[in-house]
Amino acid sequence: MAILPDIHGPQDVKKLSLDECDLLAIELRQTIIDTVSRQGGHLASNLGVVELTIALHRAFSSPTDQIIFDVGHQIYAHKLLTGRQAQFSSLRSYHGMSGFPCREESEHDLFDTGHSSTAISMALGLARARDLKHGDYHVVAVVGDGALTGGEGYEAMNDAGNGKNRLIVILNDNEMSISKNVGALSTYFKHLRASASWYGGKKKIRRDLENIPLVGKPLARVAEQIKNMVKSVVTGGELFEALGFRYLGPFDGHNIEEMTHVFEEAKQVSDTPMLIHVITQKGHGYDLAERQPEKFHGVAPFRVENGLKRNQSGKESAAQVAGKALVSLAAEDERVVAITAAMASGTGLLDFSAYYPDRFFDVGIAEQHAVSMAAGLARAGMRPYFAVYSTFLQRAYDQIAHDVCLQNLPVCILSDHAGLVGDDGKTHHGVLSVPMLQSIPNLTILAPRDTQQIREAIRLSLSLEGPCVIQYPKDGIEPYAQNLPPMQIGRWQCLREGRDAVVLAYGRMTKHAVEAAQLLHEQGLELEIIDCCSIKPMDETVLERLVQQGKKVFTIEEGELIGGFGAEVERRCAEMGMTKPVYAIGIENRFITQGSMDLLLEECGLMPQQLAERMLRVYHEWESKHVR
Ligand SMILES: Cc1ncc(C[n+]2csc(CCOP(=O)(O)OP(=O)(O)O)c2C)c(N)n1
């Protein structure tokens, strides 16, 4: 009989025997594989933590005890065990279940997260609040070895170890970030894994557990025996001990019994933070993902039998185009080096890493360090390109301003996944890019409208003496405008003539603007469409013309309106003495949900038909108010 359907919450997990828990693990895995194969999502990471999650819910009592998963991409088993089975089939779809922790969904999710290395800090805050309020519950942070390449994790441990707060950190070590984990600390974890305690300790624990008769012995004595037994396998972990943590491990992260006992033991410790090191296998239980954990980290819908994508598009992503362009540039100029923060595959740098291994740096999940390190490279005469998702660049804001732009260094940031990103949802949209960046002095910002312009922008960036961001959406948009000159800094391109009003747009929105203009042409309204591929500097000649000719102006952006491109156009036009209105269309000030790109663009009113209707309405309003 199936077990999972009867699990309505963690209390039901606690009732299960160990054998039933093993069956539950099989059912959870099956559900995760089936669902992700249809919906897409983070497969390998989730398969790796099934037993760990069961053990967590056996030992701790969520939501009273507070469990936080770092990043949150490995939270599927937790969702399935905390009363969310019915919605699970809608994973990552519009109005469906989030692929990440989500407070709206459940009291068992404490934060909405998707960015790495924050869990220990958050957990420490929760633990401190608990202590101030004289609470008596546990706070647990589950953190991957990849996430521990991010500096914030160590800032948090340094702080926690100093304060002696009761806190449990579980290091889920699978030797992988998205790719193979990098850095000296990953080598250190390897030593811990290889230590005699792991293999010897594992056997010893099992032997000792078998020797503890659970019937007939006073429970306190059993607990004492478990305590001593766990202590006996503690070796190594000096790094964590130096940070003020008590280190336990490493343990087999697929052995529910062992982990439950270890967690029970950790609950007894109240005078110091604990770090429990568990070893898991990414992709565990699905052969293809075990063999290719990187490929199955995050997947589009696929066929379970062979792992192939259900919808083979064959279209190059923007990242792939950028990666190839960078390889060509590197062939011509040996100063060109590439940097990734643990996203070589996602940002299209795999070819670069293969062709130029000496000029390629995977710095771990350390965007801040990546930018400052790029500053060092540029200061010493190299031409660094840091390819990163726009949303993750947010955490390197000060490094861009202070370390790169203040020094006016020729660092180029390839800001991928700018704009809406689809089913990863609110933690991953890159819609703050322009508001975040355009106020920083010395920074050039380019926004290619299609794959051809991505290539041009990357080539152009090499001629710059100062810093530059090239931002582009996730999808590779095929070239659609003909006979236009190559991209230039501070020059915009006219994609369509029109007498009635002018539309200024960038990136994907130029295409939508052209399509909207075609729809309005049928209604007698002629729009001029300008591709503002150089967001900063703007094309002053075009702006002056618009002011002089008294044009009515629309701006369209796939980004936050406050402090955005439209707001800046309006400010510049006003400075130039513009008397006519500028009407800015973009994303209102809210976090946007998940779903297919089309549905999200529609939700934001950015589909061509919607743009056409809105501009027509506004145009008629202007007319009726005699704005001429
Ligand atoms: C700040 C930030 N940069 C990059 C990412 C993209 N990312 C998501 S999961 C992941 C790897 C995390 O590795 P680990 O913590 O070991 O978890 P695992 O997937 O191996 O279980 C990365 C790089 C992110 N979520 N946040």
Provide the pLDDT for residue 224.
56
User: Does the pLDDT value for residue 222 go beyond 90?
Assistant: no
Angle at 196 between CA 195 and CA 201, to 5 degrees: 115
Assess whether pLDDT exceeds 80 at residue 203. Answer: no
Which stretch of 191-195, 212-216, 366-370 has the lowest confidence by average pLDDT? 212-216
- Catalytic residue among 51, 258, 265, 367, which? 367
Residue pair 239/169 in contact (Cβ under 8 Å)? The answer is no
**For residues 594-621, b (16+ Cβ closer than 10 Å) or e, as one string?**
bbebebbbebbebbbebbbebbbebbee
478-492 per-position pLDDT tens digit: 999 988 999 999 999
- Compute how many other C-beta atoms are within 10 angstroms of the C-beta atom of residue 290: 16
Q: Which residues contact 490 (CB under 8 A, 6 or more apart)?
A: 534, 537, 538, 539, 540
Mean pLDDT, residues 69-76: 98
| Residues 4-299, CATH architecture | 3-Layer(aba) Sandwich (3.40)
What whole-number percentage of the chain has pLDDT above 70? Answer: 93
Residue 406 near residue 435, CB atoms below 8 Å:
no
108 C-alpha to ligand 1 centroid (Å): 21
State the DSSP H helix or E strand holding residue 566, giving kind and residue range, or none if neither: helix 565-575
Which residue has better confidence, 229 or 376?
A: 376
Give residue 196's pLDDT.
45
pLDDT (tens digit per residue) in 108-151: 999 999 999 999 999 999 999 999 999 999 999 999 999 999 99
Going by pLDDT thresholds of 50, 70 and 90, the confidence category of residue 313 is confident
Largest CA distance in the chain: 94
The first and second tokens of residue 571, run together, are: 């400010």
* CATH number listed for the domain at residues 493-624: 3.40.50.920
pLDDT band at 187 (very low <50, low <70, confident <90, very high): confident
Catalytic site residue 455?
Answer: no
More confident residue, 359 or 189: 359
Q: What is the pLDDT of residue 181?
A: 86
Read off the amino acid at residue 515.
Answer: E
pLDDT digits (tens, 9 = 90+) for 95-111: 999 999 999 999 999 99
Q: Do domains 4-299 and 493-624 have the same CATH topology?
A: yes
Dihedrals φ, ψ of 394, to 5°? Answer: -50, -35
Q: Atom of ligand 1 at shortest distance to CA of 174?
A: 20
pLDDT at 199 (0 to 100): 43
Give the CATH class of 318-471. alpha beta
Q: Would you say residue 349 has pLDDT above 90?
A: yes
DSSP H helices, 311-360, are 318-332, 350-355
Mean pLDDT for 488-513 is 98
Q: Find the residues whose C-beta lies inside 6 A of ligand 1.
A: 45, 48, 71, 73-74, 114-116, 144-147, 172, 174, 176-178, 282, 341-343, 365, 367, 392, 395
The pLDDT of residue 209 is: 52
528 is catalytic: no
d(CA 519, CA 161): 63
Nearest ligand 1 atom to the CA of 395 is 1
Q: Which residue, by CA, sits nearest to atom 22 of ligand 1? A: 178
Burial of 252 (0-12, 13-18, 19+ CB in 10 A): buried
List, for residues 293-303, the tens digit of each pLDDT value: 999 999 999 99
Higher pLDDT, 548 or 193: 548
Whether the CB-CB separation of 248 and 275 falls below 8 Å is answered with yes
How far apart CA 610 and CA 605 sit, in angstroms, is 6
For the chain, which residues make up each domain, given as ranges? 4-299, 318-471, 493-624
Residue 198 pLDDT > 60, yes or no? no
Q: Provide the token pair at 39.
A: 């919906």
Q: How far is the CA of 56 from the centre of ligand 1 (A)?
A: 21
| pLDDT band, residue 235 (cuts 50/70/90) | low
Mean pLDDT of the chain: 93
φ, ψ for residue 147, nearest 5 deg: -60, -25
- Looking from the CA of residue 150, the nearest atom of ligand 1 is 1
The one catalytic residue among 130, 395, 508, 511:
395
Of 282, 383, 551, 552, the catalytic one is 282
Q: Would you state the pLDDT for residue 23?
A: 98
Lowest-pLDDT range, 176-185, 191-200, 509-518, 608-617?
A: 191-200
CA of 193 to the centre of ligand 1 (A): 21
pLDDT grade for 165, boundaries at 50, 70 and 90: confident
pTM over 0.75: yes
**Could you give the percent of the chain with pLDDT greater than 90?**
86
Three-state DSSP at 156 gives: helix
What's the confidence (pLDDT) of residue 628? 61
Q: Write down how long the chain is.
A: 628
Distance separating the N- and C-terminal Cα atoms of the chain = 74
CA of 147 to the centre of ligand 1 (A): 6
